[in-house]
């Protein structure tokens, strides 16, 4: 079975919006919830601050931080050709144009793809 690693990173706009909303909740926590509810207000404010930090990190951080989803494709083999022959030939040409494969490798793989037609 082929296994793919899929990661999801929220959009920068969504993360900034979440960070701003969390900052508003921090302000509400500091000026309303802590004076009114005491210990619950402190917990509220800490959770809101954590949400703000995480949202801004997702928006502007360099390293990925978030959920990972593993997807297993049923019936797919690792050696199975991917895509139709035209796409595969275009991808092969792209690899050759970028000098990632040699002329001999290009011709060999091209012949294999053409034999499958």
Residue 73's beta-bridge partner residues?
A: 2
The answer to whether 41 touches 48, Cβ cutoff 8 Å, is no
pLDDT tens sequence across 2-48: 566 666 667 788 889 999 999 999 999 999 999 999 999 999 999 99
The answer to whether 16 touches 56, Cβ cutoff 8 Å, is yes
The answer to whether 44 touches 33, Cβ cutoff 8 Å, is yes
The answer to whether 73 touches 2, Cβ cutoff 8 Å, is yes
- This prediction has a pTM of 0.51
Pairwise pLDDT comparison (53 vs 100), residue with the higher score = 53
């Amino acid at each position: 079975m082929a296994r793919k690693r899929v990661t999801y990173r929220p959009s920068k706009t969504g993360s900034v919006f979440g960070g701003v909303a969390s900052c508003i909740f921090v302000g509400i926590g500091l000026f309303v919830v802590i004076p009114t509810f005491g210990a619950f207000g402190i917990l509220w404010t800490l959770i809101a601050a954590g949400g703000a930090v995480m949202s801004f990190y997702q928006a502007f951080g360099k390293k990925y931080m978030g959920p990972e989803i593993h997807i297993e494709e049923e019936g797919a083999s690792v050696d199975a050709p991917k895509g139709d022959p035209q796409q595969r030939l275009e991808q092969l040409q792209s690899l050759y144009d970028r000098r990632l494969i040699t002329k001999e490798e290009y011709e060999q793989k091209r012949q294999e793809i053409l034999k499958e037609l």
